[in-house]
Structure formats: C-alpha cells, structure tokens
Amino acid sequence: MRKAQISITYIILTVAAVLVCFPILFSICLSFSDLNDILQGNYIPSKLDFTNYIHAFQTQPLLRYMINSAITGVLSTTLQITFALLAAYAIVFIPFRGKKIIFLIMMATMMIPGEVLVISNFQTIRAWNLLNTFPGLILPGVASTFGIFLFRQNMMQIPLELKEASTVAGVSDFGFFIRVVAPMVKNTVVTLAIYFFLVSWNSYLWPLLSTTEDTVRTVQIGLRQLKNTEAVSDYGMMAAGAMITSLPTLLLIFFGQKRLQEGMTKGALK
C-alpha cells in the first residue's frame, strides 16, 4: 500500500475510534467532576475525586444489585447453555419424526421480538407467584433459540462417523454428548456464555417489570434509580454509577477476548 493510503486509513480509524470512545471518556470525566463544575460546563475534572462513587453507593444499594445481577447472570447463562446444547444435540444427532418442522418452528420464534412476549410472560410469572424471585427473573429466558441455532451449526461440523464409531463401540448418546460433542464445541460454549452473561447483565425491561424489591433487583434498575432522586439530577453520580455497573462487563470482555481468540486460532489449525 502506498503511504497516502495508509495515512487515510489511519485518519479514518482514528476518527472512528474517537467517536466510539467519546461517550465513555465523557462519562469517565463526568464521574470525577463536581456537579457545580458540570453545570457550569467544566467537563474536565481538575483532580481525581471519588465523591461521586461514594454517593452512588450511598444513594442506592448498588453492591446488593450487582450481586443480584451476578446471580441472575450466572444462573441464566448456565441454564441457557445447557438447554441449548441438549436441544442442538437432539436436532443434529438423534433421528426423530418431524425434526425439520420442529427446528423450523424454533427458528421462526427468533423473528418474534422479545417485547411482544413481555405481557404474557408477566402474567405467567405472576400466576406462578414468582414475581420478586430469581426464578421469575430467569425462567422466561432459559430457552435460547439463538443458542440452539449456533450449537446446531457447530455440531453439524462434527462428522457423523464419529457418532457411528461410538455407537458401534457401545457408547450411549449421553456418553457421546459428554465425551465427544461437548469438548468439541467448547469454544462456542465460551463465546455464547460470555454473550449470554452480558445480555443478562444489561437487561432492563424484564427485571424492571418482574421485581419491585431490593433483594432481587438487578443493577440496571439500580442505575436507573440514581436518576430522579433529586430535583436536579446528579450527573456526576449517575456517570459514576454507570462506570461501576459497566466495570464487570468490561472485565469479562477483556479476559474473555483472549480466551476467544485462542479458541478461534485453535479451530483454524484443525
């Protein structure tokens, strides 16, 4: 490539990077600024001031919310992965009548926006007396069509001969699943687990509807509650809250990325 081309590429990349990072950098600045400074338009803090962070924790039980979010996230991720793996295995390796139709119906549900289901889900959960409980938070999302689809695609890469070899060797379906299929789709499991956890951590609408008590409320609702507590919103504190809630996800991506890349290159070598 010529020098000019490289320069142009880098200029475009730099502009894009600044645009993408601006809201984050802006929030970081705000989170360390005094409210008076912010209202006067001084967005660059003069010193590292953690007052906003302390306030955020004092105003709302953020730590409790984070623990709730972590519990919800871990449980729902585990269940989603488990069910998706088992369903995908059945679709790929177990012959049964109407398999194609069932799979198509499953895939069709991906076209239904989640919001449409909120009312019926709410009524179900309320009827089961599960409002304000972790099961109520988790249950509506344990079956993930997207997960099933991804695992199915992944499992279809596994040669059928491997299944036949283990059938002849006398290994059961479950044995084959645990000893061959699960290890072979490990990379997809890691990718999806990170994704599912992030989705759960960032979910807002369902936790807002299904919880009213601090014992189960999740962190995104807590973040929302930082607003409106005063006549003038404390932007600095809100920014601090946002920083706190996004820290776990940042860490997850930061460490997960390495793991993901490792997995991908391994797969490519074959």
Partner 1 sequence: MNKIELRDVVKTYDGKKNILEGISLDVREGEFFILVGPSGCGKSTLLRIIAGLEKISSGALMIDGKIANEMPPKDRNLSMVFQNYALYPHMTVRDNILFGLDVRKVPKAEQKERLAEAAEMLGLTEYLSRKPRELSGGQRQRVALARSVCSHAPICLMDEPLSNLDAKLRGHMRTEIRRIQRQLGLTVIYVTHDQVEAMTMGDRILVLHDGKVQQTGTPLELYNTPANTFVAGFIGSPQMNLAEAELLGDTLVLNHSLAVPLTDAERRNLPEGSHWKIGVRPEQIEFAAPDNRAASTVTLCSTEMMGNETQILFSVGAHTFTARWQGQYLLENGRAIHVQLSPDTFHFFDDETGALLRAALTIKGSDMQSA
For the chain, the three-class secondary structure string (H helix, E strand, C coil) is: CCHHHHHHHHHHHHHHHHHHHHHHHHHHHHHCCCHHHHHHCCCCCCCCCCHHHHHHHHHCCHHHHHHHHHHHHHHHHHHHHHHHHHHHHHHHHCCCCCHHHHHHHHHHHHHCCHHHHHHHHHHHHHHCCCCCCHHHHHHHHCCCHHHHHHHHHHHCCCCHHHHHHHHHHCCCHHHHHHHHHHHHCHHHHHHHHHHHHHHHHHCCHHHHHHCCCCCCCCHHHHHHHCCCCCCCCCHHHHHHHHHHHHHHHHHHHHHHHHHHHHHHHHHHHC
Is position 190 an interface residue for partner 1 (rule: CB under 8 A)?
A: no
Is position 268 an interface residue for partner 1 (rule: CB under 8 A)?
A: no
- Binds partner 1 by CB under 8 A, chosen from 102, 143, 180, 209: 180
Is position 175 an interface residue for partner 1 (rule: CB under 8 A)?
A: yes
Is position 209 an interface residue for partner 1 (rule: CB under 8 A)?
A: no
> Stretches 108-116, 129-137, 163-171, 238-246: which one binds partner 1 (CB under 8 A)?
163-171
- Binds partner 1 by CB under 8 A, chosen from 20, 168, 232, 268: 168
Q: How far is the CB of 167 from partner 1 (least distance, A)?
A: 5
- Binds partner 1 by CB under 8 A, chosen from 104, 170, 228, 254: 170
Per CB under 8 A, contacts with partner 1 among 22-81 are none
Q: How far is the CB of 160 from partner 1 (least distance, A)?
A: 9
Give the interface with partner 1 as residue ranges (CB under 8 A).
159, 161-162, 164-172, 175, 179-180, 183-184, 269-270
